[in-house]
Structures are given as C-alpha cells and as structure tokens.
Amino acid sequence: MGVDAFANWLRDAANTLHENAAYLTELDSAIGDADHGSNMDRGFTAVVALLDETTFETPDELMKKAGMTLVSKVGGASGPLYGTFFLRLGTALAGVEITPATVGEALKAGVGGILARGKAELNDKTMYDAWAPALDAYDEAVAGGSDLGGALVAAAEAAAKGRDATIPLVARKGRASYLGERSAGHQDPGATSTTLLLESAARTLG
C-alpha cells in the first residue's frame, strides 16, 4: 500500500468532515464555542489543497505535512491535537513497511501525541474516549488475524461506541469543562470527529 491510499483517506475524510461540519458545530455549540465543524472543515480543506498542489513520495511525508497544515489552519484545540496525531503517525510510518501491525503502532504513537498534548484521561469527555476503545479494538482484531481494513472497521465501530458513551459524561477538559454538570447529556464533538476520521480510514485504507 502506498501514498495514494493515504491521500485518498485524507480526501475522503475532508469530504466527510465537510458534510458533517454543521453537525459538528451544532454539537460544539451545545458545550463549546461552536467552531469544531468549521475548524475541521477549514483544516482539511487546506489539506486537500496541499494534496492538489504537492506530490508526496511516501505516506510518512504526507502525514507529517498534513499534520503541520492542521496545526496552522484548524485554529481551535483540535488543531494542535489532530496536528500532533498526524505528525506522530507520520513519524512512526517513516521507513517502515505498511502492515496492520505498523499502522497499529503508528496509530498508537499518534494517539500518544494527543494524550501528551491534551493531558486527557478516559471519561473526560474528549476525543480520547473514542480513540482509546478504537486502539484496543484494532489490536484485538489484528491479534485475531484481521487485515488492515478489518482492523480499521473494528476500530471505527469501537470509536462510535466510545463516542456515544461520551453523552452522559461531565466534561473535564477544554472549553466544555467550563459548563461543569451542564455538559452532561451532550455528545462530545471531538469524539465525533475522531469516529468520522476512523470510519473514513476504514473505507479508504482497507
């Protein structure tokens, strides 16, 4: 699998995020500053522009450049968070053969970056609540002999469950944490966009 598959992932993710931009913003307006959809859309639109302008030789190069683009263009907290994710993902993919295992390691490295940056824990009502079960499900699937596509599908399904599980949680990180108890009853926008990204990966990297 080469750089094109990863480029397709980003293009597909950009489409999905664009289509869901209003939805994400609506989720964010309930407990945040009502910009998650437009921020992600702006960031990934810039990533698509990057893909149109530049030819990348390797997935790691592409992932790192996409990460930097997100860092500069997203604006909100998801900029440095997703930016770091793609930067670390890219770094982990450098010089390795793309296999379910190496992609798993890279995903872990990326999520490690999110954790280092956001200092979130499970059940803080953040994107990590989607990432954590997704990583577990991915590993489990790979251990069970699943290919990359299968593992990503499992990961996306787990992420969706994690996303839904954020609804009753009280936010402890980010702008939503200012709301305290009032943040309960709303789905976390970050966990939602994470799920969209993984669903997109399952569609394109399989």
Partner 1 sequence: MVSHSRALADAALGLAAEMVAEDNRPVIAVAAGLDETTFGTDAAAVAEAIAAADSPDGVLVLLDLGSAVLSAELALEFVDPEIAERVVLSSAPLVEGLVAAVVTASTGASLQAVADEAKRGLLGKQDHLGDVPTPSATVATDNEQSVEVLVSNEHGLHARPAARLVALVNSFDASVTLTDLDTGRGPIDAGSLSMVATLNAQQGHRLRVGASGPQADEALDAVRVLAEQAFGDLPAGALPQPVLRGGSGLDVAIGPAIVWDTAIDLSTYQRADAATEASNSETARTAAIAELAQVQRETTARVGAAEAGIFEAQAALLADPAQLREITAAIDRGASAPEAWSQTLDDLAKTVESLDDPYQRERAQDVRSVRDRVLRLLTGTESAEPPADGVLVVRELDAATAAILDAERIAGIAIRATGTTGHGVIVARSRGIPLITGIGDVQVPLGSVVAFDARANSFMVDPDEEAFRTTIRERTAEREQALATADHPAVTTDGRVVPVMANVGSVQDARDARGADGSGLVRTEVLFGDRRTAPTTAEQAEVFRKIAAAFEGKPITIRTWDIGGDKPLPFLPQAAEANPFLGERGLRVFRHRPELLRDQLQAVREVALETPVQVMFPMVTTAEEVAWGIEILDALGPQPAGLKVGIMVEVPAAALRIDSLALGLDFVSIGTNDLTQYTTAADRTNTAVAALADGLDPAVLLLIDHVVRHVPTGVHVAVCGDLASDPSAAALLVGLGVHELSAVGPQIPLVKARIRRISFEYARHTAAEALTQSSAADVRYLLGAVS
Give the binding site for partner 1 (CB under 8 A). Answer: 35, 39, 68, 71-81, 83-84, 117-118, 174-175
Least separation in angstroms between CB 64 and partner 1: 12
Instruction: Specify the residue, 104 or 174, whose C-beta has the smaller distance to partner 1.
Output: 174
Least separation in angstroms between CB 8 and partner 1: 26
Least separation in angstroms between CB 134 and partner 1: 21
CB 188 within 8 A of CB 9: no
Instruction: Specify the residue, 70 or 153, whose C-beta has the smaller distance to partner 1.
Output: 70
Rg, C-alpha atoms of the chain: 16
Residue 103 burial by Cβ neighbours in a 10 Å radius (0-12, 13-18, 19+): buried
Instruction: Specify the residue, 71 or 202, whose C-beta has the smaller distance to partner 1.
Output: 71
Least separation in angstroms between CB 161 and partner 1: 26
> What single DSSP character describes residue 170?
P
Instruction: Specify the residue, 124 or 157, whose C-beta has the smaller distance to partner 1.
Output: 124
CA distances from 38 to 29, 57, 103, 189 (A): 12, 30, 29, 12
What is the amino acid identity at position 153?
V
Instruction: Specify the residue, 173 or 186, whose C-beta has the smaller distance to partner 1.
Output: 173
Q: Given CA atoms 194, 38, 34, 67 in this order, what sign does their dihedral have?
A: positive
Helix (H, G, I), strand (E, B) or coil at 20: coil
Cα 185 to Cα 163: distance, rounded to the nearest angstrom:
12
Least separation in angstroms between CB 76 and partner 1: 5
Instruction: Specify the residue, 77 or 198, whose C-beta has the smaller distance to partner 1.
Output: 77
Least separation in angstroms between CB 72 and partner 1: 5
Locus of tokens 């053969």:
97
